[in-house]
Amino acid sequence: MTRCALNAQESLICSSCNCAAQSRAVTNLVLQQFWFAQFLSQTTVAANHNNPQDKPVVFSESRSLVLRIVQVFWLHIAGLRQQNHSNQVLRQPQIFSSPALATALVACLFFLFSSGCSTHSKRISQPRNLFYDGQLQACRTGLEKLAKSNRHDRDVVNLDLAIVDLLSGQAKQAEAKLRDVRDRFDHLEQDSITEKTVSMWTDDQAKSYSGEDYEKILIRVFLSLSSLMHDGIDAESYTLQVQDKHEELGQMFAKRNGKAGSEYTPLPLGFYMRGMLREATHRDYDDAVRNYEFASQLLPNCQPLLWDLARVRNGVHSQPGHGVIYVFAMVGRGPYKVEVAEQPTSDALLIADRIVSALGPYQLPPTIAPIKIPDVVVPHSDVDSVGIRINGSPIGPTTSLANIEQLAVATYQANRNSTIARAVARRVIKKATVAAAKNSIGKDGLTGIGMDIAGIAWEASEAADTRCWGLLPRDIQVLRVEAPAGDHQLQLNPLLGNRPVGPAQTTPVRVIDGLNTYVVCWFPDARSVIQMMCSNRAEPDRIMDEP
């Protein structure tokens, strides 16, 4: 039997000697760690609170890192890394026969798999700002450059490019891009164990992005809108695909969560668009009723939907000599993902790795680099609806049919735990790799410190997967106006609490007897440049004076 090398005050779990004070030492260690973790979390939370929402939390991150390093050194001084006794007791596992091989492996893993600290949210911020400033061409250039330079960002960048194309009048190109991404996302719904394995050695960015559920629905909604803005040939098919996708996602939701699919909440906008197109046939009112009923069940307090429902049950699309204008208003800046440090989990992992290092046979690199996960940010918006006037006569405000902010937050909350679990598992794999390499070449001396530093750097190279469709609005709102056939002046005014908050934008529209005219506009906020597109633009000299 080997004698325990530690004194009674600091001895920990040792199967050989069963020292009496080991449980007290463990308790002390955990309490000290807990105190530091609490202090660290509170400091970080306070720093985050003081930061503006849109600014990266660089200051708090660096302070957190410094505090963490102090914490690790404090632990070192406290003498918790002295238990090299167990190394002599237990037989060391030998993975690598030579130190050179082990060092080379860790170095290779670090250099091969370190994906850098750059995230999609950082890369996309400049083109996004250009878009909101109304510089569509500059935004397109930035996005195209990004799509070429980063393979893993290509799909989400193409989605953003499709929005730029749609609002700059290139609806056909927008449709083509959206169709490509739709097919890619459908393909990527299949699991790839290769990518999952690689992501465990790197980060979630190594996996191909297959889109959030709401993005998959919105791709089809925007496909339908893009089609309506140029020829409308495939618009009905896209609305059918919206319904198919809803059904498929509901089944996948039920399978994933082991719950009934009824808990899956679809987007009312998809049903509304299907109803809108079926009503426009002047024949399939039964389909319109069915779809408006679905939408109305999802938004029971939406009065305009009830009007639509009453009309398709008993009335007609429009009176003879009249047509209909549908205004699709994209209101506010949409949600996007940013990288945040998951402080409580990082602290817990630090405590765990220190305990394992102190008690077990393995010396793990300390969790200095915090675990990074994506978080959803919804920028503040000073526009909540759009007021519509036709030839100067007020019609009313638009109504929300797709609250993207709510959807994005709900999706994030539903997946947050699994994201954290993946991040923790990844850390454990990395730590185990470094520990195994250290054990093969000896954990004392400069080599051990070097391996620890390499391990910490490898862990720090992780970045959160912040890929998302960045140029979505906060809300998609709709207003239906029936107007006499002819050319009209359509005026759109950003509103907050039914009060105008910005300059009105006017566009000429042509209403065709018995048909729909579609207007797509984007109001990111009261000061931003408003983007607008119309499926039947009128000639300004033929505008009617009266509605």
If one counts every other C-beta atom within 10 angstroms of the C-beta of residue 17, the result is 16
Tokens 């003879």 sit on residue:
320
**Tokens at 177, concatenated:** 């891009």
User: Residue 269 or residue 376: which is nearer to another protein going by CB?
Assistant: 269
Find the part of the chain contacting another protein (CB under 8 A) among 75-83, 89-97, 470-478, 517-525: 89-97
From candidates 243, 415, 505, 536, binder to another protein by CB under 8 A: 243
Instruction: Work out whether 287 is an interface residue with another protein (CB under 8 A).
Output: yes
Question: Is residue 98 at the binding interface for another protein, with CB under 8 A as the rule?
Answer: no
- In whole angstroms, how close is the CB of 260 to another protein at the nearest point? 13
The residues near 46 (Cβ < 8 Å, ≥ 6 apart) are: none
Return the half-sphere exposure (C-beta side, CA atoms, 13 A cut-off) of residue 280.
22
Contact set for another protein, span 374-393 (CB under 8 A): none
Q: Which stretch binds another protein (CB under 8 A): 184-192, 337-345, 414-422, 487-495?
A: 184-192
| Beta-ladder partners of 256 | none
Instruction: Establish if 260 lies at the interface with another protein (CB under 8 A).
Output: no
Give CA 393 to chain center in angstroms: 40
The correct pick among 2, 42, 319, 418 for binding another protein (CB under 8 A) is 319
Q: Which is nearer to another protein, 308 or 475 (CB)?
A: 308
Does 193 help bind another protein (rule: CB under 8 A)?
A: yes
| Cβ at position 395, least distance to another protein in Å | 21
Which one among 190, 262, 301, 303 touches another protein, defined by CB under 8 A?
Answer: 190
CA-CA distance, 277 to 290, in Å (whole number)?
12
Shortest Å, Cβ 95 to another protein: 5
Q: Compute the least distance from the CB of residue 397 to another protein, in Å.
A: 28
Determine phi and psi for 442, rounding to 5 degrees. Answer: 95, 135
Angstrom distance (rounded) from CA 371 to CA 342: 5
CB 338 within 8 Å of CB 375: yes
Could you tell me which stretch among 30-38, 192-200, 353-361, 386-394 binds another protein (CB under 8 A)?
Answer: 192-200
By the rule CB under 8 A, 498 interacts with another protein: no
197 interacts with another protein by CB under 8 A? yes
Closest approach of Cβ 437 to another protein, in Å?
Answer: 11
Provide DSSP, 202-241: S-GGGSPP---HHHHHHHHHHHHHHHHHHT-TTHHHHHHH
Q: Which segment (69-77, 153-161, 235-243, 444-452) binds another protein by CB under 8 A?
A: 235-243
Among 54, 263, 286, 444, binds another protein (CB under 8 A): 286
Distance (Å, whole) CA 27 – CA 487: 80
Minimum CB distance to another protein smaller for 10 or for 236: 236
Alpha helix positions (H), 154-302: 154-167, 171-188, 193-201, 213-230, 235-257, 268-279, 285-298
Distance CA 302, CA 399 (A): 8
Q: What's the token pair of residue 363?
A: 């010396």
Nearer to another protein, 269 or 351 (CB): 269
Nearest approach, Cβ of residue 219 and another protein (Å): 18
- What residues form DSSP beta bridges with 521? 329, 532
User: Which one of the spans 31-39, 316-324, 329-337, 404-412 is the region binding another protein (CB under 8 A)?
Assistant: 316-324
Piece of 46-54, 313-321, 373-381, 526-534 that binds another protein (CB under 8 A)? 313-321
Whole-angstrom distance, CA of residue 226 vs CA of residue 224: 5
User: Which segment (74-82, 236-244, 409-417, 471-479) binds another protein by CB under 8 A?
Assistant: 236-244
Rg (CA), the chain: 29
CA atoms within 13 A on the CB side of 4: 20
Please report whether residue 394 would count as binding another protein according to CB under 8 A. no
In angstroms, how far is CA 526 from the centroid of its own chain?
A: 25
Question: Residue 514 CB, nearest distance to another protein (Å)?
Answer: 5
> First-to-last CA distance in the chain?
99
What distances in angstroms separate CA 525 from CA 288, 311, 477, one per listed residue?
33, 33, 14
- Listed ranges 24-32, 117-125, 191-199, 488-496: which one lies at the site for another protein (CB under 8 A): 191-199
Reading phi first (left if > 0) and then psi (alpha if -120 to 50, else beta), residue 316 is in: beta
Query: Which one, 317 or 474, has the nearer CB to another protein?
Result: 317
Nearer to another protein, 194 or 413 (CB): 194
Cβ atoms < 10 Å from Cβ of 114: 17
Pattern 509-528, binding to another protein, x per CB under 8 A? Answer: -----x--------------
3-state secondary structure of 21: coil
Q: Is 28 in the site for another protein (CB under 8 A)?
A: no
Among 67, 89, 240, 377, binds another protein (CB under 8 A): 240
Residues that bind another protein (CB under 8 A): 93-97, 187-188, 190-194, 196-197, 237, 240, 243-244, 281-287, 290, 316-320, 436, 514
